[in-house]
Structure 1
Amino acid sequence: MTTLSQFRKAALALPETEEGTHFGMIAFSVRGKGFASLDKDGYVQLQLSDERAEQAVAAHRTGERLTRTSKPIGFRVPLADINGKDLNALVADAWLTRAPKRVVASYLSAQYSPGDGDLPAAIGKPATRALAGQGLTTLEQVATWTERDLLALHGLGPRAIRILTEELHNRKMSLAG
Structure 2
Amino acid sequence: MTALSQLRKAALALPEVEEGTHFGMVAFSVRGKGFASVAKDGQVRLRLPDAEVEAAESAHPSGERIVRKGTLIGFGVPLADINGKDLNALVRAAWFCRAPKRLAAELAAADAGTRPADCDLPAAIGRPATNALLGAGITTLAQVAARTEGELLALHGVGPKAVHILAESLAQKGIPLR
Match in the other structure for 2:98: 98
Match in the other structure for 1:5: 5
Match in the other structure for 2:57: 57
- How many residues are treated as equivalent by the alignment? 114
Q: Which runs of 4+ in 1 moved over 3 A?
A: none
RMSD of Structure 2 on Structure 1 (CA): 1.0
Q: Which structure is higher in RCO with an 8 Å CA cutoff and minimum separation 6? A: 2
Match in the other structure for 2:73: 73
Cα-to-partner distance string for 1:10-55 (whole Å, 9 max, x where unaligned): 0000000000000000000000000000001100000000010011
Could you say what secondary structure the match of 2:66 adopts? strand
Could you say what secondary structure the match of 1:41 adopts? coil
Aligned partners of 1:69 and 1:39: how far apart in 2?
19
TM-score (norm 2): 0.63
Question: Aligned partner of 2:44: which letter?
Answer: V
Could you say what secondary structure the match of 2:5 adopts? helix
Shift of 1:67: 1.1
Question: Aligned partner of 1:56: which letter?
Answer: A
Shift of 1:108: 1.1
Structure 1 unaligned spans of 5+: 115-177
Match in the other structure for 1:172: none
Match in the other structure for 2:29: 29
Match in the other structure for 1:86: 86
Shift of 1:68: 1.2
Shift of 1:110: 1.1
Aligned partners of 2:72 and 2:105: how far apart in 1?
26
Aligned partners of 1:25 and 1:67: how far apart in 2?
18
Question: Aligned partner of 1:40: which letter?
Answer: K
Aligned partners of 1:98 and 1:44: how far apart in 2?
16
Shift of 1:61: 1.0
Question: Aligned partner of 1:31: which letter?
Answer: R
Aligned partners of 2:13 and 2:92: how far apart in 1?
9
Deviates more, 1:61-70 or 1:75-84: 61-70
Question: Aligned partner of 1:67: which letter?
Answer: V
Aligned partners of 1:110 and 1:52: how far apart in 2?
22
Cα-to-partner distance string for 1:57-92 (whole Å, 9 max, x where unaligned): 011010110111221101000000000000000000
TM-score (norm 1): 0.63
Shift of 1:111: 1.4
Aligned partners of 1:86 and 1:71: how far apart in 2?
24
Aligned partners of 2:65 and 2:34: how far apart in 1?
17
